A and B are shown apart, each in its own frame.
Chain A
Amino acid sequence: MARQKLPPTQTLTMKIDDVDVTAKPGQTIKDVARDHDIIIPGLCYLDGLSIWGGCRLCLVEVEGMNKLLASCSTEVAEGMVVHTDSPKLRAYRKVVIEMLFAERNHVCSVCVSNGGCELQDMAVELGVDHVHLPYMDPDVNLDSSNDRFRLDHNRCIMCTRCVRVCGEIEGAFTKGIGGRGIDVRIINDLNMPWGESQTCTSCGKCVHVCPTGALVEKGTAAAEMDKRRAFLPYLTIMREAQR
């Protein structure tokens, strides 16, 4: 009997940080690295949400490319040689964090997310002990009009996780982006007070995916905001299983 042909399973081979690894087509560098216990930093990426590629913390070096690539949004290719950690990358990532701190008003000591903040953790992990850029000290408002939650633009890093979770998971599409450049802000509906939004379901997903103290539960004092981000992958898995 003739041998039956198996469906073609393409496996790519590549190198990440001098380790030979295999990958499936369509996977991103960040995914493949994580499969092999290589963790690349990042702030806008979150399991269960679409890819944004905006924070630029997961930049990696790919041999043969003359620019750095965001590992969360770059698909792997056969024979790719990737470096996720180098003095150059570490320096870039530190500058990214410093710029985030300098852009708005991040006052960790009195922030409700002190001790539970991904920006703060990232700064510690990357060894950011000074901000070398001048602080911009912008006059930024808070939106406390929602009954349960608060949006503090002072602490926002524009990762857009809230925008994505609101549209992609909750389906409410309340959160959006308004303004441009340095004036860009997270907005509710057509830039109205959150409390007046007709679309918000007050589900609180935006609060829990927010990496910093920008979206928080009201009534929390300094260092009390405990974000539970693990729910998202489970939610996605369960939905897919139902389908």
Chain B
Amino acid sequence: MSKTITIDPVTRIEGHARITLHMSDKGDVDDAQFHVTQFRGFEKFCEGRPFTEMPAITARTCGICPVSHLMASSKACDDLMAVDIPPTAAMLRRVMNYAQMTQSHALSFFHLSSPDMLLGWDSDPVKRNIFGVAASHPELAVDGIRLRKIGQDIIEMLGGKKVHPAWMVGGGVNAALTAETRDAMLAMLPEGLDIAQRTIKWYKQTLGKFDEEVRTFANFPSLFMGLVSPEGGLEHYDGYLRVTDEQGKVLEDMVDPHNFQEILGEAVEDFSYMKFPYYLKRGYPEGIYRVGPLARLNVADHAGTPIADQEMAEFKEMHRGAVLSSFHYHYARLIEIIHAIERMTVLLNDPAILDHHVRARARGNRNEGIGVAEAPRGTLIHHYKINDDGQITWCNLIIATGHNNLAMNRGVKQVAQHFVNGKKLKEGMLNRVEAVIRCYDPCLSCATHALGQMPLHIELRDAAGELCDEVRRD
């Protein structure tokens, strides 16, 4: 008899979700769906507000990555104002973006995902969390908390507070950096780099243990998309869109982010509140692509900083063409943390960072503006339209997690087919299904523009939809 297994909600991710596995008569997984069950409506209630408020409003989409929304939104406002922001403002925004990258990646790797890797996917769920890690691997837990704090502290020093700083605005930033603050930030960075290097060394040594996960965790051919610098290097703030295929061949290069609609389409499915972007030229759903740390390392030719370049070369050696296993998102995150700290060091050591000219002033000079930046989870697009008085008339946010929607669905199906035996619900297999989702570090609050946290609920249903079995974890 065919059955449906529901995992609801999925835990240790940022947001609310449910997974349904459709089972065939033989007990194999036929299909898998990742449902995002929250709805928020930011795009609607922003209508009518002055565009100058958009960075602050859209930053409230998320408490983990408000900086990313500030970044994309401020850039969309720059576009509406039709200004080139002062170079120092761009440097300062970059510093905050790298600090954000550091703290968010640290959260994903240490707090959310390391319990699976360190304690085992099948270990006691009561202990499989950051507290369990703190008990069994105290040094690693301290490193993780410390690294995240360094990122958060830099955000606070620049913006006045850790979450939702109001410092980034259309036209630049609203306060220049002082030498004292710069020095305080620089003083923290060597420790951060030590932690990041120590962690990546440990991770590479341990990677051998996860062969099965590497092989089965959303390891499939797909396209990849990310921003690259004009030289084709790793880029998080500005630059151009590049799309590569599973062999690493460049399909689209140096696409001006303003023209993203020429390469991306958005589809809607009735089982999820999250939209399904796809690569237009391949259609839906064949135009499946991934974004985020793994995609960025796949699309970029080099990192542009010495230590990250070495690590990236080693990373790219793993697989000819593109690195396809989503398990390697974790690895990519660690490389990006190193890159972020190296970049911050360079930016903060540049005397120009202290320049007082940090804001361009203008009113709305265009009726349409697009802002694109790389958030920790991938490419983030804010697209606004305003009336002549500067009020928003239309707004579309394309979130990193949204780009990965098709890939997450396919990843869940793959891991479920490998680990799920339809005749019985095993804790370990459910954890692996969840862990695949966790590789992408999805931020569903952002992706549906909703709020929340999640326990776990699994339902096993037969073909007629009758409930056969149920497991609940609150």
Contacts and interface: CB of A to CB of B under 8 A. Distances in A.
B443 to A, nearest CB: 19
Given A109-B60, A142-B48, A222 B55 contact: yes
B53 A112 contact: yes
B56 A145 contact: no
B79 to A, nearest CB: 16
Interface residues of A, number: 17
B361 A219 contact: yes
Contact of A218 (B52, B60, B164): B52
A72 B389 CA distance: 38
A110 interface: yes
A223 interface: yes
Interface stretch (B8-16, B85-93, B166-174, B267-275): B166-174
A150 B391 CA distance: 11
A221 B52 contact: yes
Interface string A211-226: 0000000111111100
A104 B309 CA distance: 54
B390 interface: yes
A142 B50 contact: yes
Nearest to B362: A219
Nearest to A224: B174
Contacts of A110: 53, 56-57, 60
- The interface centre, meaning the residue of A114, A150, A222 with most chain B CB atoms within 10 A of its CB, is A222
The range of chain B's interface size is 10 to 19
B171 to A, nearest CB: 9
B390 A109 contact: no
B292 to A, nearest CB: 28
Most buried by B among A110, A218, A223: A110
Contacts of A114: 166
Contact of A221 (B56, B390, B391): B56
Nearest to A139: B48
B146 interface: no
Contacts of A142: 48-50, 391
B418 interface: no
B258 interface: no
B363 interface: yes
B389 A145 contact: yes
A116 B115 CA distance: 44
A66 interface: no
Nearest to A115: B166
Contacts of B57: 110
B363 A219 contact: yes
Contacts of A218: 50, 52, 363, 390
A144 interface: yes
B468 to A, nearest CB: 43
Interface in B354-384: 361, 363
A110 B57 CA distance: 6
Interface of B: 48-50, 52-53, 55-57, 60, 164, 166, 169-170, 174, 361, 363, 389-391
Interface of A: 109-110, 112, 114, 141-142, 144-145, 150, 195, 218-224
9 contacts: A109-B164, A110-B53, A144-B390, A218-B363, A219-B52, A219-B363, A221-B55, A222-B166, A224-B174
Given A112-B53, A220-B52, A221-B52, 8 more contacts: A109-B164, A110-B53, A142-B48, A142-B49, A144-B389, A195-B389, A221-B169, A223-B56
